[in-house]
């Protein structure tokens, strides 16, 4: 019985203070109706409408106040101290050095010998280089020039060798073919000089300039 009376008294006390507690949380209300917030009569028609003076929902700042975050609002930011100063980021080329210039030490000229200095050794090959037959060399050079696809048109080449000098005679279709033939012959081992007597004779219908005189 004592327990039943205690429970009944607690229920009555809770019912008595329910209205006050609800008023603190949700505004004025009456017991027995669903929980809902009462809106005053002056604001009943303005629910959910923007009045035009709400600059910010948080803080509701004035018209002349600073818009955005300032140092006061960033005071609790963990990186505020770092954000106020510029970081010192090293360049990607820091510490790199240009390679040393060794051109002055390459292919240096031989200094003159002194009165008591020994002579520099003279190197010679230890075998006798085979010498080609002049007739075979002339025939091989003429065939090499005639069969080469480097020339613009068909040419006629005659090659004769006197010592280490090659003499070119014949006809070519362009001046560049004459110079090219001389370069080809200069690559031949045993040839030190070339006397170019090739004549430039343009092919019919090519519209090229008149033939240039052969170089002496």
Q: Confirm whether 171 is domain-assigned.
A: yes
The rounded percent of the chain whose pLDDT value lies above 90 is: 9
More confident residue, 65 or 193: 193
Q: pTM to 2 decimals? A: 0.38
Residue 145 CB neighbours (<10 A): 24
Cα distance between residue 199 and residue 196, in whole Å: 9
Q: How confident is the model at residue 111 (pLDDT cuts 50, 70, 90)?
A: confident
- Note the helical H segments in the chain: 2-26, 80-84, 134-147, 175-186
- Positive or negative: CA dihedral 7, 10, 12, 18: negative
183-192 per-residue burial string, b: 16 or more CB within 10 A, e: under 16: ebbeebeebe
Q: Is the pLDDT of residue 33 over 70?
A: no
- Which pLDDT value is given to residue 30? 57
In a domain, 142, yes or no: yes
150 in a domain, yes or no? yes
Domain that holds residue 162: 134-200
Is 172 among the domain residues?
A: yes
The CATH number linked to 175 is 3.30.1340
Looking only at the bridges linking them, the beta strands covering 193-200 and 165-172 are parallel
CB atoms near residue 121 (< 10 Å)? 6
Residue 23: predicted pLDDT: 47
DSSP 23: H
Average pLDDT over residues 173-196: 90
Q: What is the tally of structural domains in the chain? A: 1
pLDDT digits (tens, 9 = 90+) for 142-158: 888 888 887 766 678 89
Which phi and psi angles does 193 have, rounded to 5°? Answer: -145, 155
Residue 216 within a domain: no
């Amino acid at each position: 019985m004592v327990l039943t009376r205690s429970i009944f008294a607690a229920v009555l006390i809770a019912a008595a203070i329910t209205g006050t507690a609800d008023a603190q949380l949700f505004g004025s209300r009456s017991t027995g109706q669903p929980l809902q917030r009462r809106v005053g009569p002056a604001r009943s028609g303005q629910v959910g409408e923007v009045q035009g003076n709400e600059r910010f929902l948080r803080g509701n700042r004035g018209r002349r106040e600073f818009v955005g975050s300032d140092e006061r609002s960033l005071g609790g930011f963990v990186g505020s101290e770092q954000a106020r100063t510029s970081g010192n980021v090293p360049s990607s080329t820091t510490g790199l050095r240009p390679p040393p210039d060794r051109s002055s030490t390459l292919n240096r000229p031989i200094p003159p010998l002194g009165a008591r200095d020994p002579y520099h050794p003279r190197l010679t090959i230890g075998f006798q280089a085979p010498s080609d037959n002049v007739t075979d060399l002339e025939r091989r050079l003429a065939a090499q020039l005639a069969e080469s696809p480097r020339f613009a048109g068909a040419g006629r080449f005659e090659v004769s060798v006197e010592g280490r000098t090659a003499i070119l005679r014949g006809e070519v279709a362009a001046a560049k073919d004459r110079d090219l033939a001389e370069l080809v012959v200069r690559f031949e081992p045993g040839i030190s000089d070339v006397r170019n007597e090739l004549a430039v004779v343009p092919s019919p219908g090519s519209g090229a300039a008149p033939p240039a005189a052969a170089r002496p």
